[in-house]
Structure 1
Amino acid sequence: MSTGHVEYASLNGTHIFKLIGEVRAQSCISLDKLLNKIEHQDGVVGAIVDLTQTSFIDSTVLGILAKLGLKLKQAHQIQAVMLSTNSDITTLANSMGLGQVFVILDYCGDPNVCTRALVDEHITHRNMLHTVLDAHKTLMKLNQSNQNMFEPLVKQLQKEKENLDSLSQQNV
């Protein structure tokens, strides 16, 4: 299980996401649902992703963040800002193409930002599968390297999703 979590705050149309500790796929379901709500909101003027207290971030989380950056650009014509002080995390984010959808800044600010922890959603195999699959599909859209790296995983996850969907249909 993840030892990290995501905190969130919003003020006057600016959305702030703070990732703390080792943030893994389990922390993404609530974040993914929140992003879907923000995409359809009016008055969104900015977004900040604070990675200054992030010690580890997995590819699913990076995919969800890519989704945030892409949706803000497409739906609101906004380029989000990513704050990072960990060179390993900054390098990883850039290698996955997040620099295409975020302005990535080296930031040493006040760690006591007014955010609240997102409540973890009820994690089921089905919603975890959906979140992981969607995150990796988003990463694949950013560049050819990601496409090549994650294509086998996405194909496997799609097969698993189809099997689950087939079982659900049989149980109806």
Structure 2
Amino acid sequence: MTEAQILFACQKDHCYFKLIGELRYTNASGMDDLLERLFQQQQQPLCGQVVVDITEVTFIDSTHIGLLASLARHCQQHKLPRPLLFSRDDEIEHLLRGLCLDQVFDFAAQPRVQHTELTEVEPAAYQDQQQGQMILRAHQALLDLSDKNRAEFQSVVDLLKQQLPED
């Protein structure tokens, strides 16, 4: 099992994400917290262009895929260009395309060489309810991408809504 890492940098209005290892809901809080801080501001976000490198991802679950969908949705809402996603793993890329992420990301095989110093994003200290809300938001973002995703993940969203207490 390859330990998950989320690395991030913002340089000259470009936001770089590098995701590494096995990406599971249990290690998604850092990415979720970072997205909330970057895009939930009232003013224009720091990112003018978003670049995501998943060339070293060995496994990605639906929560992380939903977080990628959320990232793309934030870019759309802030009228930013489509995020650029670098992937080398055919199976992972096939999965992402099957869940319609190719409708909201531009895919490429090779990352451009960057001399950007990336910082590791630490996991956020989420309580159980916060973790559940994150999983719910991520899966709702997947639902919004296509009717096929809605058919596949609606039962997960419904179950989470039943189990999570109202705020």
| Equivalent pair of 1:7/1:18 in contact (CA under 8 Å) | yes
Match of 2:5 in 1: 5
Cα 1:93–1:112, aligned 2, differ >3 Å: closer, same or farther?
Answer: farther
Look up the SS of the partner of 1:107 in the other structure: coil
Q: Does 1:141 align with 2:129?
A: no
Corresponding pairs, count: 164
| Structure 1: stretches of 5+ with no match in the other structure | none
Task: Calculate the aligned-residue CA RMSD, in Å.
Answer: 2.1
| 1:114 CA displacement | 2.3
Moved more, 76-85 or 25-34: 25-34
Match of 2:30 in 1: 30
| Matching residue's letter, 1:53 | E
Moved more, 127-136 or 99-108: 99-108
User: What is the rounded CA distance, in whole Å, between the counterparts of 1:48 and 1:101 in structure 2?
Assistant: 13
Alpha-carbon displacement from aligned partner over 1:55-78 (angstroms, at most 9, x marks no partner): 111000000010000110111332
Q: Does 1:49 align with 2:52?
A: yes
| 1:30 CA displacement | 1.9
Look up the SS of the partner of 2:28 in the other structure: helix
Look up the SS of the partner of 1:79 in the other structure: coil
Look up the SS of the partner of 1:53 in the other structure: strand
User: What is the rounded CA distance, in whole Å, between the counterparts of 1:152 and 1:2 in structure 2?
Assistant: 30
**Higher share of residues assigned helix:** 1
Look up the SS of the partner of 1:76 in the other structure: coil
| Equivalent pair of 1:6/1:27 in contact (CA under 8 Å) | no
Match of 2:117 in 1: 114
| Equivalent pair of 1:49/1:81 in contact (CA under 8 Å) | yes
**5 Å matches for 1:67-146?**
67-107=70-110, 114-146=117-149
Match of 1:16 in 2: 16
Cα 1:72–1:97, aligned 2, differ >3 Å: closer, same or farther?
Answer: same
**Identity over aligned residues, as a percent?**
26
User: What is the rounded CA distance, in whole Å, between the counterparts of 1:117 and 1:51 in structure 2?
Assistant: 15
